[in-house]
């Protein structure tokens, strides 16, 4: 099944999901085209122009982002600034080395399995 968001759009959304309410991501060149495409699909607020904040993301684009990515995953950070780690629809951390990012993701997956196993034993 084809994804709704392009790779660049996913990176933009991922970066915005890591921000506090008063911060923003500046966009330039082709990134603005991706933003305009998201606006045309009504996936973000129409008032986002050269920058985007968490308030510009609507529930639909967040739902698409979480649905089209695994439960635990890493994504290259916007503008090549390391890797963003997400788990269970939450931003966990930023890691600067891809090997380390892979280790964090694998560790989170193993931890989830251990938690499930511990829950089964307790039941």
Task: Write down the pLDDT at residue 53.
Answer: 94
CA 74/CA 84 separation, integer angstroms: 5
Q: What is the pLDDT of residues 55-91, one digit of tens each?
A: 999 999 999 999 999 999 999 998 888 999 999 999 9
The mean pLDDT of the chain is 92
Residue bearing the bigger pLDDT, 42 or 79: 42
pLDDT higher than 90, residue 121: no
Rg over CA atoms, the chain: 16
Task: Write down the pLDDT at residue 19.
Answer: 92
Count CB-CB contacts under 10 A for residue 27: 20
Task: Write down the pLDDT at residue 18.
Answer: 94
Mean pLDDT of 40-56: 93
Task: Write down the pLDDT at residue 1.
Answer: 66
Three-point CA angle 23, 78, 87, nearest 5°: 85
Mean pLDDT of 47-62: 94
pTM of the model: 0.87
Task: Write down the pLDDT at residue 123.
Answer: 66
């Amino acid at each position: 099944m084809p994804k709704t968001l392009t790779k660049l759009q996913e990176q933009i959304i991922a970066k915005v999901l890591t921000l506090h309410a008063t911060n923003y991501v500046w966009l330039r060149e082709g990134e603005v085209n991706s933003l305009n495409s998201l606006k045309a699909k009504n996936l973000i607020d129409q008032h986002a122009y050269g920058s985007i904040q968490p308030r510009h993301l609507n529930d639909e684009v967040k739902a698409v982002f979480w649905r089209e990515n695994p439960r635990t995953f890493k994504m290259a950070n916007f503008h090549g600034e390391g890797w963003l780690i997400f788990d269970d629809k939450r931003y966990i951390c930023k890691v600067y080395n891809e090997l380390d990012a892979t280790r964090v993701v694998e560790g989170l997956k193993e931890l989830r399995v251990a938690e499930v196993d511990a829950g089964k034993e307790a039941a």
